[in-house]
Each structure stands twice: as C-alpha cells, then as structure tokens.
C-alpha cells in the first residue's frame, strides 16, 4: 500500500483541521518559545556555556524544524521561516569540517566523538536528517539537507567503511529510520545500505550494552531477526521496528518483515493500553511482560504512541490490513491527542489511565515518593521529546488518511479533506470522532475503498442518495465510481462497553466505554471522587451532551460502604448519572481524579 503524502491531502474543515490549525497557531510557536528560553535553539551554535545542553537537545530542535517545515505551505509565517533559516545557518556554521555535528559532543566531549555508546549521538543525527529531508521536500530550506548529507557521509565512512568507531549501533534507535527517509528522498542507495547495516549489526555484540542497564533496554539482546517479543524502552523499540519494517519492505527481506509482524502482534495483542499507549512501566519507560498494563502508573509515553502509529502505518505499507489503521485510529484519537492540552500549550509525557489527584499531590511533596504520572500538562519538560514530536505528527496528520494500491484509492481514516489520486478527485466530509457520518464526494472514474471502523455497530450507506449494500472485503467497502458520485456513510456510533482480556489483571472485572474511536473517561470535576468504585450497569440509555464539550451521560451507581475500612456488609449502590468525556480531553480543568475502567 502506497500512502498519499500529507502534502497532497488538503484538510478542509472539521476536527483534524482544527487540531492542525491550533498546532500552527499555538503549539509550534509556544514550543519554540519554551525551547528558546531553555537554551535548546542557542545550543546548536556550539558555543561552550556554563549550563551544558542535554545530549538530546539537537533532536528537540530537529523535530521542531520538521514540524515547521510541514506547516509552511498551509500556514506560511515569515517569523517561523526566519527562525528555520537562522537555525539551519547556525547548524551549517557549527558543523565540523569532517561533517560531524552534535552540539553536545563537539563542544563538551570532542575527544569522545563516536567512542561512547551513548544513547543519543546518532539519534540526534537521525532527527536532524529527518528535519533536513522535510525542509527540502517542502521547499522551505534545502541547505540543511546538504549539511546532513555531509554528516551522513561521515557516519557512513566511519561506521560502515572504516568501522573505527567505539560502538556499532546507537543506544537509541532513530538513525536507521532517518537514513531510510534520506534514501527515499534522494534515491541514493548508500543510505539504505547504512540503515540496513545498523539494523543487521544490532544485538550481535555482547559488549555493546547501554551503560547500567540490560541489553533488552535498547533491543540489543539478540540479533533483530531473532527477536519475537517487544522489549525494552518503548520508543527505542518502536523506532527500531519502524526502520526494520522499512528496510524489510525496501530490500524485500521477508524475514525482517515477518519479525515486524510478530512484534506488531505482540504489542497490539498483549502490551497496548486501550488508549493505544505502550511502555507500561516508568522504570526504563519500557515494555514489560504480556498483559502487565497498570492504569494508575501507566507510563504510556506520548512519543511511544506516536511511534506506534507510524509503525502501524509502515506495516500497512508492506501489506495493507484494516487492522493496522484501526490501531492508528486508536492511537491518534486517544493517547496521541491526550498528549496535548486543548489550548495547544501544555503537554503530557506520560498518559495514565487512572488518576488519584490526592496521591499525585502527595507524590509531589516527597523527594522519594512512589511513582505517579503528573496530573496536569506542562509547557516543557527537561526531557522534552514529546511536544515537538506531537507537533510534527499533527502537521502531517493528513498522511494517515489515504492510500493507493492496484489503482484503488483507499480511505483509511475519515478526515475531512480533499485528495486527487487514482483518477479521482475525492472530497471527504467527516463528523469524526463525534459522529460516524461521512460524505465522500468523488469526481472521476475509478475504484474507491472505504475502511469500516471496528467500533461501528451498523453501517448504512447510500450512493447518490440510493441505499446501497457495497461490496465488502476485509473491512473495506469497495465502490466503482464514474462521473460525480456522492457516497453517504453512517457508521453507527454509540457508547459501547469494552472488556479487556482476563489476563490483564489490572482491568479484570471492569469495562471501558468507547464512543466511536474515542475511549471515554470520567473525571472528578464532573462526577466527584472515588471513581474506581463507579459501576456502569449498561451502555444503553446514555445521552449525548455538549456541556463543557462533548460528553456522554450514562446511568451509573456508586458503591458506598458503611464507612469502615473493612466491613462484612456489602456496599450500598447509589444511582447517579455519570458524565463521561473523551479520554484525550482529561486534565484540562485542573488537578482531577480520572478513571477509564469501571465496574
């Protein structure tokens, strides 16, 4: 399946257009301001300062540049453009003669370049390569591409030709997928060769262990083709798997492709939160074991969710299945959107599925408190990988919507937009995620395939006003169109209970409520406390409301004990109306209890 690039997809109106506009108007600028204030942008000048930059500051800047690149066409901004150009010029000026560029190593540890297997040396290079490709592809700035190609040549020479470096693979995968992008953009085969080299070498050297932790942490515990379970740091893992999927596809390496499928299934069938979150443990931000999905301490890093969306997209490229897009949908509408506040300014690094505000307050009072994800979004973190990652994702969100294969134009995600492909001009008007109604206008002749979401409880479909039972195969509806066609879809959307596998001990005996692609949650701002003790007898009799934004009001009961800590008397059940809201909107009204799984 070939995806249609985000820049060929014109968002028209509706949900994602709003997200992307906010992204351009607020988030891009706000993140720049906070990154500038915290010295991330000035760091690329490579001037020694008293407060050395973090080793991964280059990647923060790079992701911001990438996001800015994607937004320039639709949201041109001279100020942003000037920042881009100035930053690129600074990087170009700071680059060493050999091609090397890293604002930390070349200033603070020049003698250690490519000698320590640190986490982020090639990782930073990878993000800068991605930024360079994006800036060039968008016609915003071609200079960084030249800079980064020179750097990539140096990496190629040292790691692949001379092999005289102190380590072989980077502690944090990213360079691999970036090199694939460089290959795809330039057509220069050596970048694919180098990406493949890094992938092939991973896990082959017992001595290459990320300091102080184990080899599963960065997926170096065994050669990648022998890996069958998603392990270690979730973002590292997923960035690696993305590159493995790319290299597998581009080199026709079926073994690698099969490994990717195995890893993907391991994640989505055993290690993924209902929100699409992965990496359940704060310790090492990692995948743990199958079905270990604690809600209160869920780490579920925003970057990891973003990476899972891309991994699913890469799997669809290899061999399309509706299930991959269902994962993309789950991730985007839940964990990913939750990563940003509704005003576009605040960000979550971690995304728990249960919050006890009193515990969060307690955790803040102690230097050695038990782990608790933060209860409110903040504008910048010390380790601020997630904010610019979100911005660059939202900036290219249209890229998840469409694909083409064998002359058929596929609609994977219902995002209000226009696109031209396979001889058709398609215009999608979608009410997602709050209603399952969508109108697809087509001009031209061809074949159209529309994905049937997993959450629909019924589909009604009309072509040019006439009821229609379309040809359906593998969760796509196929239509042959000619001239002007209007396809009206209505995927029935209603609150549905979702049950976790009985092996997920944290959710046993509980259910979540989904509404279309949205996982719903309850907050104490609407419902008072003790949300873990709320019982929802049935998903029926729910009402849709709009007070304070979209909400679902559903009859529920609150357990109420006799007040003792332990009692032989079963708790009473007090009926009340529970207000549920989309998970992604939580924590926008101050510190708050929150619950996803109910009795």
Segment near a second copy (CB under 8 A), from 41-49, 213-221, 439-447, 546-554? 213-221
Select from 420, 439, 561, 577 the one that contacts a second copy (CB under 8 A): 561
Residue showing tokens 């899972």 = 308
Segment near a second copy (CB under 8 A), from 33-41, 191-199, 419-427, 498-506? 498-506
212 binds a second copy (CB under 8 A): yes
Segment near a second copy (CB under 8 A), from 114-122, 236-244, 341-349, 364-372? 364-372
Q: Where do the H-state alpha helices sit in 215-341?
A: 234-251, 254-270, 302-318, 322-330, 337-338
228 binds a second copy (CB under 8 A): no
Segment near a second copy (CB under 8 A), from 67-75, 80-88, 157-165, 206-214? 206-214
Helices 189-201 and 143-155, axial angle in degrees (round to 10) = 50
Q: Is 124 a catalytic residue?
A: no
575 binds a second copy (CB under 8 A): no
Report phi then psi at 28, rounded to 5.
-55, -45
Task: Kindly determine how many residues on this chain lie close enough to bind a second copy according to the rule CB under 8 A.
Answer: 66
Which two three-digit tokens encode residue 479?
């239509």
Binding mask 38-77 for a second copy (x = CB under 8 A): ----------------------------------------
Minimum CB separation from a second copy for residue 598, in Å? Answer: 9
Which two three-digit tokens encode residue 238?
């997923």
By the 8 A CB rule, do 152 and 179 touch?
Answer: yes
**Could you say which of 66, 119, 174, 285 is catalytic?**
285
E strand or H helix at 87: helix 78-94
Minimum CB separation from a second copy for residue 291, in Å? Answer: 8
576 binds a second copy (CB under 8 A): no
Q: Which is nearer to a second copy, 509 or 590 (CB)?
A: 509
559 binds a second copy (CB under 8 A): yes
Select from 77, 532, 589, 591 the one that contacts a second copy (CB under 8 A): 532
**Could you say which of 385, 422, 461, 551 is catalytic?**
385
By the 8 A CB rule, do 474 and 322 touch?
Answer: yes
Which two three-digit tokens encode residue 288?
């743990």
Specify burial of residue 575 (Cβ count, 10 A radius: 0-12, 13-18, 19+).
Answer: exposed
Task: Calculate the CA 59 to chain-centre distance.
Answer: 16
d(CA 452, CA 441): 17
Minimum CB separation from a second copy for residue 397, in Å? Answer: 24
Query: Could you tell me how many residues make up the chain?
Result: 599
Select from 36, 378, 498, 544 the one that contacts a second copy (CB under 8 A): 498
Segment near a second copy (CB under 8 A), from 51-59, 334-342, 520-528, 567-575? 567-575
Q: Which is nearer to a second copy, 469 or 569 (CB)?
A: 569
371 binds a second copy (CB under 8 A): yes
Task: Calculate the CA 48 to chain-centre distance.
Answer: 34
Residues 6+ apart with CB under 8 A from 564: none
Which two three-digit tokens encode residue 308?
């899972």
459 binds a second copy (CB under 8 A): no
Segment near a second copy (CB under 8 A), from 55-63, 288-296, 334-342, 399-407? 288-296
Q: Is the omega angle on the peptide bond into residue 433 within 30 degrees of 0, that is, cis?
A: yes
Residues 6+ apart with CB under 8 A from 137: 7, 69, 185
Q: Which is nearer to a second copy, 155 or 536 (CB)?
A: 536
Q: What is the DSSP string of 200-244?
A: HHTT--TT---TTS-TTTTT-SS-GGG--S--EEHHHHHHHHHHH
Select from 358, 383, 458, 575 the one that contacts a second copy (CB under 8 A): 358
Binding site for a second copy (CB under 8 A): 212-214, 216-217, 268-270, 272, 274, 281-284, 288-290, 292, 296, 354, 356, 358-359, 362, 365-371, 496-506, 508-512, 529-530, 532-533, 535, 558-561, 563-571, 599
Q: Catalytic positions, please?
A: 285, 385
């Amino acid at each position: 399946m070939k995806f249609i690039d985000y820049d060929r997809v014109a968002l028209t109106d509706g949900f994602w257009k709003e997200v992307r506009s906010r992204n351009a108007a607020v988030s891009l600028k706000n993140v720049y301001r906070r990154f500038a204030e915290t010295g991330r942008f000035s760091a690329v000048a490579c001037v020694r300062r008293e407060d050395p930059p973090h080793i991964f500051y280059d990647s923060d800047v790079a992701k911001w540049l990438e996001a800015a690149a994607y937004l320039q066409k639709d949201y041109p901004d001279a100020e942003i453009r000037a920042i881009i150009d100035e930053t690129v010029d600074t990087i170009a000026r700071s680059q060493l003669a050999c091609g090397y560029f890293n604002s930390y190593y070349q200033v603070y540890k020049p003698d250690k370049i490519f000698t320590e297997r640190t986490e982020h040396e090639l990782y930073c290079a990878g993000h800068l390569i991605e930024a360079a490709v994006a800036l060039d592809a968008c016609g915003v700035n071609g200079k960084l591409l030249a800079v980064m190609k020179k750097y990539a040549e140096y990496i190629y020479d040292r790691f692949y030709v001379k092999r005289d470096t102190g380590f072989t693979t980077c502690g944090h995968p990213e360079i691999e997928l970036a090199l694939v992008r460089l290959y795809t953009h330039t057509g220069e085969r050596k970048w694919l060769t180098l990406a493949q080299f890094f992938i092939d070498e991973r896990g082959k050297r017992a001595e290459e262990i990320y300091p102080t932790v184990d080899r599963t942490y960065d997926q170096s515990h065994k050669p990648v083709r022998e890996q069958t379970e998603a392990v270690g740091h979730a973002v590292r893992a997923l960035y690696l798997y993305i590159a493995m999927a790319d290299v597998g596809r581009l080199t026709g390496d079926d073994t690698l492709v099969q490994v990717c499928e195995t890893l993907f299934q391991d994640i989505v069938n055993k290690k993924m939160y209902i929100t699409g979150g992965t990496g359940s443990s704060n310790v090492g931000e990692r995948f743990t074991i199958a079905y270990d999905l604690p809600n209160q301490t869920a780490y579920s890093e925003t970057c990891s969710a973003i990476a899972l969306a891309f991994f699913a997209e890469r799997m669809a490229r290899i061999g399309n299945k509706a299930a991959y897009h269902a994962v993309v949908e789950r991730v985007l509408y839940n964990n990913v959107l939750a990563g940003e506040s509704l005003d576009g300014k605040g960000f979550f690094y971690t995304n728990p599925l249960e919050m006890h505000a009193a515990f969060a307050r307690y955790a803040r009072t102690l230097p050695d408190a038990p782990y608790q994800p933060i209860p409110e979004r903040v504008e910048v973190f010390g380790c601020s990988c997630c904010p610019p990652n979100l911005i660059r994702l939202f900036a290219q969100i249209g890229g998840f919507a469409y694909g083409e294969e064998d002359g058929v134009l596929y609609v994977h995600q219902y995002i209000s937009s226009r696109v031209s492909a396979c001889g058709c001009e398609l215009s999608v008007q979608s009410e997602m995620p709050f209603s399952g109604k969508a109108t697809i206008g087509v001009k031209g002749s061809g074949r159209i395939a529309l994905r049937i979401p997993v959450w629909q409880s019924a589909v009604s479909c009309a072509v040019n006003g006439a009821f229609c039972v379309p040809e359906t195969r593998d969760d796509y509806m196929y239509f042959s169109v000619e001239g002007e066609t209007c396809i009206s879809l209505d995927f029935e959307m209603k609150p549905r209970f979702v049950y976790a596998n009985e092996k997920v001990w944290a959710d046993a005996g509980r259910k979540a409520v989904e509404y279309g692609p949205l996982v719903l949650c309850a907050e104490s701002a609407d419902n008072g406390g003790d949300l873990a003790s709320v019982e929802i007898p049935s998903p029926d009799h729910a009402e849709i409301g709009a007070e304070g934004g979209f909400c679902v009001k559903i009859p529920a009961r609150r357990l109420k004990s006799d007040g003792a800590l332990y009692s032989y008397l079963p708790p009473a059940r007090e009926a009340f109306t529970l207000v549920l809201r989309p998970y992604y909107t939580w924590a926008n009204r101050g510190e708050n209890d929150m619950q996803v799984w109910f009795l």
